[in-house]
Structure 1
Amino acid sequence: MRMRLGCRLTFQLPAPTPMILLLNVHYSRASDLEQPDLLVTDPSVAIEAYRDDFGNWCNRVKAPVGRFVVSTEGLIRDTGLSDPVDEAAEQHPVEQLPGNVLTYLLPSRYCESDVLSDFAWKHFSEVPPGWQRAQAVCDFVHKHVRFGYEHSRATRTAVETLNEGIGVCRDYTHLAIALCRCLNIPARYSTGYVSDIGQQPPYAPMDFAAWMEVYLGGKWWVFDPRNNDTRFGRVLIARGRDAADVPLTHSFGHHELCGFEVWIDKIEEAAEPSRGQN
C-alpha cells in the first residue's frame, strides 16, 4: 500500500533561535519513499543535515524572530502488514548480548530502571522470560496508565508515570522500557507515525507516536504499550535510549508552539478499468 505522510509545526519566536529538528522518516525506510519528506521552512532558512550517534536524520536551523513554520510531506510504500510477532523469540542471557545492545539495559534520563528493579521482579518474575514477559510488561502498563493529552508533562519519568498512573504515549513507553530493562530485556525508545488503518472510527486527531523496540531472539521487535493491539502503517522517524535522545524538536531558547498538524493516510488506488468485449 501507499501512504502520504507529513507534518506542519508553527512556532512563535521572540529572538533568533537555533533549533534541531528530527522530523524525517528514518534512513531504514528511505528506499520505501516514493517522494522524500524533505524539510521545508517558512520563511526559508539555511538547513544543515547530519546523522546523530543513533543514526537518526537531524536538521539544524536558526529560526528567525516571529512566526516560523517547518513542514514535511512524503509518499511512502508499505507492505500493509501489521507489526511482526514471534512468541517463540527467546531472551538472551546478558553475557551473550552484542556489545552495541548493552546500552539499552542501562538506566537513562526518563527510564530509571535502577529504581524500579524490585518492583519489576516482584510483578513479573513468574512470567516466562522472552516474548511473554515483554508482553506482560506492555499489558500491565496499558492497564495501569490512563491516557490523556491533558496529562502531558515533558519532564515525567517512568517512576513518576508508575506512581501517578497517567500520561501520554511517551510515558507509557518510558515505563515499559524501564521495566523491561529491569528484567534484563534490552529496550529502546522509538518515535514516528502510526496510522489509523484498520481502526474503527471515530478517529482521534493524528499525532506523532512513541513505542518501544525490544531485543529478543537476535532481533529488535516492536511493542506498543500505549495501543497494545494490532497496528498497520507504522513508520519510524527516530530511536534512542529514551525521549531525551530523540526530541522531535529542540530549541535553544524560548519558543511557543502555536500550530501542530500530523498526517499519515492510505492512498486509495483507483480501480483498473475493466476491458470491454471485442
Structure 2
Amino acid sequence: MNRLRYALRLSYDIKDATADFILNIEAARTSRQHVVEEQLTLPPSIDVTRYTDTTLCNRLLRIRAPEGSLSLSYEAVVDIDHRLDDGAFLLEIPVAQIPFDVLPYLAPSRYCESDRLMEFAMREFGGMEPGYFRVYAIREWVRNHVRFLSRSTNERTSATDTVVERTGVCRDFAHLMIAICRALSIPARMSSSLDYGADPAMGQPDFHAVVEVYLSGHWYLFDPSGVSIPTGLLRIGTGRDAADIPFAAIFGKVEPKRPFIEIQALTDDAAGIGMPLFTTKAISTW
C-alpha cells in the first residue's frame, strides 16, 4: 500500500460580474483508493455544490464567484491499495464479451480519433499477440516516438496531430495511446492524476494524464509519457479523454494563475505503507 499527501492551490482573476467554475480536483474514492483525510478551503462568501459520479467516482465542485480575485485550496491524504498482476496472464477481451458499460471506451472521442488511426494501428501492432504485452508495446511506441515538450500543444491538439507532429505533453501521449488501443478494439480511457516521481528539472509538480486499458475484466494503468512512478499515481478523474475530465471548466472571462501543487509520499512501516516504487507487474487501482 502507498500513502500520498496531495495539496493544491488555485487562483483566478475574474473580469466579469460573475463567473462559474466546475472543478474536478478532489481525490476519487474507489474500492482501491481511500481518502484518509481532506480539506477544501474557499472564501466564506462562496457556496459550493457537490456532485459525485457513482460510476466513475469523479467528484465535481460547482461554484459561482463575483468579479475580483478568487483563491481556493484543497489538501488530502490518500491511501492506494494497488492490484498487481502478472501481465503474461492478462488477455484482451473479444468485443462480444466486453461489458456494456465498457463499450463506450471503444469508440472515437473528441481527442482520440481511433477511427482515423486504424490502418496505422494495424500496421504497427496488428501482427502482435493480443494481450498485456501488446498494450505495453503500444505504450513503449508512444513513449519512444513522441518527445515531451512543455507548452508545445494546446486544447485543440488531438491524437492524430500528435502522431504527425511527434511532440506533446502528458495528455497528448495519453490521447495517442488511447486512440491506438481503441483502433485495435481494446477499451481504453484517461485518468487524471499528479506527476509523482517526475524529474524536478521538468518544473514544479503538475497535473498529469495517464491511460487505463481494460484487460481480463480489470482496468490497468499505463503512463505513456514515462515521467511518473506509476504506483505513486492517485486518481482524480476518469473519462474518455481530457474533454471529460478537465480539472477546471470555466464559464466567463477569467484569467487563471499557475496552479500550486504538492505531492508527497508518506510512509508507515508498522502499517505496511511504503514508498511508491517501479514494478514490472500490471497495476490496477480500480
Q: Give the TM-score of the pair, scaled to structure 1.
A: 0.88
Question: Residue 262 of structure 1: CA displacement?
Answer: 1.1
Decide which moves more: 49-58 or 11-20: 49-58
Offset, 1:75: 1.6
Greater shift in the superposed pair: 45-54 or 215-224:
45-54
Give the match's secondary structure for 1:63: strand
Preserved contact between residue 41 and residue 72 of structure 2 (Cα < 8 Å): yes
Q: Distance in 2 between matches of 1:127 and 1:211?
A: 23
Give the Cα separation in 2 of the matches to 1:229 and 1:68: 31
Residue 128 of structure 1 aligns to a residue whose secondary structure is: coil
Query: Which residue of structure 2 aligns with residue 33 of structure 1?
Result: 35
Q: Which residue of 2 aligns with 1:255?
A: 254
Secondary structure of 1:32's partner?
strand
Note if 1:138 corresponds to 2:139: yes
Gaps of 5+ in 1: 272-278
Instruction: Report which stretch shifted further, 26-35 or 168-177.
Output: 26-35
Counterpart for residue 114 of structure 2:
113
After TM superposition, the runs of 4+ consecutive aligned structure 1 residues lying more than 4 A away are 81-85, 199-203, 268-271
Question: How many residues were matched structurally?
Answer: 267
Instruction: Provide Cα deviations, 1:5-50, integer angstroms capped at 9, x if missing partner.
Output: 12111111101101100000012169622212x3322364000001
Query: For residues 39-77 of structure 1, what are the alpha-carbon distances to aligned partners after superposition, in whole Å with 9 as ceiling and x for unaligned?
Result: 322364000001247431101000221111121001223
Aligned residue number for residue 62 of structure 2: 60
**What does 1:258-269 align with in structure 2 at a 5 Å threshold?**
258-267=257-266
| Cα-to-partner distance string for 1:232-276 (whole Å, 9 max, x where unaligned) | 3210001011110111000112221123111111236699xxxxx
CA deviation map 1:123-155 (0-9, x unaligned): 111211111111111111111111121213111
Shift of 1:201: 6.3
The 5 Å alignment of 1:181-196 reads: 181-196=182-197
The alignment partner of 2:191 has SS state of: strand
Q: Secondary structure at the match of 2:88?
A: coil
Residues 82-121 of structure 1 correspond to what in structure 2 (within 5 A)?
86-121=87-122
Amino acid across the alignment from 1:123 = E
Aligned partner of 2:26 among 17, 24, 27: 24
**In structure 1, the residue corresponding to 2:119 is in which secondary structure?**
helix
Q: Which residue does the alignment assign to 1:276?
A: none
**Secondary structure, counterpart of 1:150 in structure 2:** coil
Share of identical aligned residues, percent?
35
Superposition pairs of residues 108-257 of structure 1, within 5 angstroms: 108-196=109-197, 204-227=203-226, 231-257=230-256
Indicate if the aligned counterparts of 2:23 and 2:61 stay in contact, CA closer than 8 A.
yes
CA RMSD between the two structures = 2.4
The structure with the larger Rg is: 1
Contact 1:43 1:68 survives alignment (8 Å): no
How far apart in 2 are the matches of 1:269 and 1:7?
23
Moved more, 230-239 or 88-97: 230-239
Equivalent-residue separation in structure 2 for 1:48 and 1:229 (angstroms): 32
Give the C-alpha shift of residue 4 in structure 1: 1.5
